[in-house]
A and B are shown apart, each in its own frame.
Chain A
Amino acid sequence: MAGKTDEFKVIEVKRSVFDANDRQADELRDELRSRGLFLVNLMSSPGSGKTTTLRRTIERLRDEMSIAVLEADIDSDVDARTVAAAGVRAIQLHTGGMCHLDAGMTRQGLESLDTEGIDLAFLENVGNLVCPAEFDTGASRNAMILSVPEGDDKPLKYPLMFEVSDVVLINKIDVMPYFDFDMDACRTNILARNPEATIIPLCAKTGEGVDAWCQWLRDGVEAWRA
């Protein structure tokens, strides 16, 4: 054996391609827990209302806790500016053209944003229902927004997104009369994919339902520190 240079070695690996990222995500989550920083990864299709919901949420909660936002966009900083205008620390992450954020990018984002004293941070992920579901960011919890115009069958078409989400916000309920969106069917479809999911219908435009979502966040922040 020794001295041979033309050796080929077949090595059994049997690891998911996401293995390295999953490990980095677990490390980040452990650190966030020990620092008492509750990080929520917010995912959805483009335009379902992530930035609008964040603005509403910040308005409601900024007097009771310290909030920061990390905005991921393929290449613009409109959302970061919108959120910063609501009065919280915000930065734009550069995904380098990527369709999702991973644990490494999330860590870099948190490091470049001063998170000292922050209780609650949001990660506005790239608008996409496929890739962000596969890449664990290391966040404390995953939240997703499904908006009424997208249809009540989305949980059937993008099962993984619904499986990994701890809470599903059903946004734009103000336009329900104009779409044949069946709220009960939607709940059934979500719970079939993820029986543990919390489902909160809301309207980010008027603020209806935002109370229930803010309560979910308060409970989350508290439990994360316990």
Chain B
Amino acid sequence: MKKRYLYLLLLPGLLFLTIFMIIPILLTIGTTFFTENGFSIQGYLDFFKDRYFIEILLTTLRVSLFTTIICILLGFPAAYYISKLKQRKKAIMLLLTIFPLLTSPVVRSFSWMVIIGKNGVVNKMLMGMGLIEQPLDILYTPTAIIIGLVHLFLPLIIVTLVGVMENIETDLLKAAESLGASRLAVFSKVIIPLSVPGLVIGSILVFVGSFTAYTTPALLGGKQRVISTFLYQNAITLNEWQVASIVATIMIAVTVLIISIMNGLAKKLNPKG
């Protein structure tokens, strides 16, 4: 087949995405700018004046940010360890890593309820040891959402990082050592900078995933709203489709903004990565 006809292979997928994703999204965005009185951005202005909504947006951003940071801190060393293993062991460890992804978020959230609830395992243990008098309020707080999201997204960042770290030539590490670098220096001056591409992709996945996640915050957040549960509430419970569309558009805009910020950051950290 001639090379220039190869793009035809893209067509079925492209068609599907256009009909079922791109057009609906554009329509959704379109509706937010049109009211009975024609074009207006009043909907957005109202929104950003609303303390309640701003609060939800900031909470969601904060939760996503913390989730991403914790995932990086926990995932980076684990990924490095796995990337250094021999083929067989590596395969087993990667399988174990993605195991949580194979259970439903609903099931996982319910098990967290059992663990961090008022009468949950954690509180019982801490009280049993006499460390606290009253049970801690973890469930139905942003902390609970973060715990659930870290659990959900840690595998993702580990797998992404392992992919990048595997491809760091061991000769580079040896070269650094022979030039006088201690283990720590090798890690900070070679391994971390060369992992930046994986770190960026992983962070984007985790951040965007956390920002848009629904099930976990819905179950572990209780009355604590995040942007996705807020959207759901407006659309399904309150039947406020105009509001829901505006929320959706804001979510898309924030997501795009985050991705471009992270890409910019990556370029700075690793100019030729």
A and B from one assembly?
A: no
